[in-house]
Amino acid sequence: MKKLEGFQRKYLRGVAHGLKPVVFIGQKGLTPEVLSSAEMAFERHELIKVKFNDFKEKAEKTEISARIEKETGAENVGMIGHTAIFYRQQEDPEKRKMSLPQRDGGGRGRG
Domains and CATH numbers, the chain: 6-89 (3.30.110.60)
Q: What is the pLDDT of residue 1?
A: 61
Is residue 46 helix, strand or coil?
coil
Determine whether 83 is exposed, middle or buried from the number of CB atoms within 10 Å of its CB (0-12, 13-18, 19+).
Answer: middle
* pTM more than 0.85: yes
Q: Is the pLDDT at 102 greater than 80, yes or no?
A: yes
**Arithmetic mean of pLDDT over the chain:** 89
Q: What is the pLDDT of residue 110?
A: 46
Phi, psi of 98 (to 5 degrees): -115, 145
Q: What is the pLDDT of residue 82?
A: 94
Distance CA 73, CA 100 (A): 17
